[in-house]
Structures are given as C-alpha cells and as structure tokens.
Amino acid sequence: MKIGSVLVTREQISTRLGELGAEITRDYEGKDLLLVAVLKGAFMVMADLAREIRLPVDIDFMAVSSYGHATQTSGVVRILKDLDTEIAGRHVLIVEDIIDSGLTLDYLRRNLEVRAPASLEIATLLLKSGIQRVPLEVRYVGFEIPPDFVIGYGLDLYGKMRNLPHVAVMVED
Ligand code: IMP
Ligand code: MG
C-alpha cells in the first residue's frame, strides 16, 4: 500500500477542533471534566482538542488494542493500559481518533460505565460513515469519511505515519 490523496488537511482539522472545543466548553461549563484519550492513535487529537477547551480539565489515557497488526478489526479488545484516575461521579469524555466498526469504543464504553461516571460521552475526529457493527452514540464528530483505510494525524499503518500533520487515504500500489 502507498499514501494516496489528502482527505483532511491540517487546516481543516484545526478549524474543526476549534469548533468542537468551543462546543465542549459550553456543554461542560461548571462541570468536573476528565478527558480520556485512547492511545496511541488519539494522542494528537487529544493534544490539539484539549487546547481548544477553555475549562480546567483533567487528562488521562488508556491504551487498547483491537487490530493487532492488520488493517481490519478483529472485534477483540485488550486493555494494555488502564486509567490512572477514578471516574466515579465525574464527567468523562472519551477522545478518539477514528471510529470504524465501533467495536473498540463499544467495549470501552461498557467497561467505563461500570465505574459509574456522572456522564460518559464520545468525541472522535473521524467517523467512517455507515459501517458501524454496533449502535454507538457519538456526541462530537469531527468529520464523517468514507470507509477507506486512512493514516496520519495519529493514525498508523504498522506503527508508522502517525506523525503526518494531515489525514491521507492509503491506496493499493
Ligand atoms: P474499530 O474498533 O473498528 O472502531 O476501530 C477503532 C480503532 O482501529 C481506532 O481507534 C484506530 O486505532 C484503528 N483504525 C480504524 N480504522 C483505521 C484507519 O482507517 N486507519 C488507521 N487506524 C484505524
Ligand atoms: Mg491504531
């Protein structure tokens, strides 16, 4: 596979995260908000989105593995790193890079709901349209994109290309 055309530019990402940040700021005004990013892919969204939220948020990370080393979902989710923080009674916003089948977040949501947060919502930069295999309520969506495999801005292929500043499509060579 090789890198194809740019799907979302760094300017588009920046503008959209500014809008989502403003929305989140309004929605969580006066609340105790904990942002939880899912490593590794969401590290860049977390860094940029957090800076657009004008509230004293806390930040934590989880690491899960759903793909192993393939470009198709297995449906099997493993927690590689759990939260450092207790979330009971707190407002939790999961920050994701991309939702494909939705299986990872479905698992994560159930896992965190058991810990009785005051609220639990999802923000994702990218949502692949119409291919979710489980119903998933996503409160904040950056961009809906076609169901192609994409890389960049945190998203990898075999661990590489996360550092591209934009999102690009992978194509067969
Ligand atoms: P899901 O469980 O199928 O929704 O997949 C979620 C995870 O798979 C994401 O957090 C990404 O880490 C990874 N993923 C899904 N689609 C892509 C893609 O197009 N490029 C890179 N990683 C992806
Ligand atoms: Mg990944």
Query: Which of 64-73, 103-112, 163-172 comes out lowest in average pLDDT?
Result: 64-73
In a domain, 161, yes or no: no
Task: Give nearest CA residue, ligand 1 atom 15.
Answer: 100
In a domain, 64, yes or no: yes
Distance (angstroms) between ligand 2 centre and the Cα of 54 equals 28
Return the number of other C-beta atoms located less than 10 Å from residue 47's C-beta: 14
In a domain, 85, yes or no: yes
Place of tokens 């977040």: 105
Query: 4-57, pLDDT tens digit by residue?
Result: 999 999 999 999 999 999 999 999 999 999 999 999 999 999 999 999 999 999
pLDDT of residue 43: 97
**Residue ranges with strand state E in the chain:** 2-8, 33-39, 58-65, 78-81, 91-99, 119-128, 140-145, 150-151, 167-171
Question: Which residue segment(s) compose the domain that 99 sits in?
Answer: 10-148
In a domain, 157, yes or no: no
Q: Is the CB of 124 under 6 A from ligand 1?
A: no
Q: How many domains does the chain contain in total?
A: 1
Confidence of residue 69 (pLDDT cuts 50, 70, 90): low
Q: Is the CB of 149 under 6 A from ligand 1?
A: yes
pLDDT of residue 75: 67
Distance (angstroms) between ligand 1 centre and the Cα of 100 equals 5
In a domain, 165, yes or no: no
In a domain, 101, yes or no: yes
Average predicted confidence (pLDDT) for the chain: 93
- Nearest ligand to the CA atom of 149: 1
- Most confident range, picked from 7-16, 65-74, 132-141: 7-16
In a domain, 1, yes or no: no
In a domain, 130, yes or no: yes
Cα–Cα distance for residue pair 18/38, rounded to 1 Å: 20
Q: What is the pTM of this model?
A: 0.94
Residues with catalytic roles = 100
CATH of the domain at 71: 3.40.50.2020
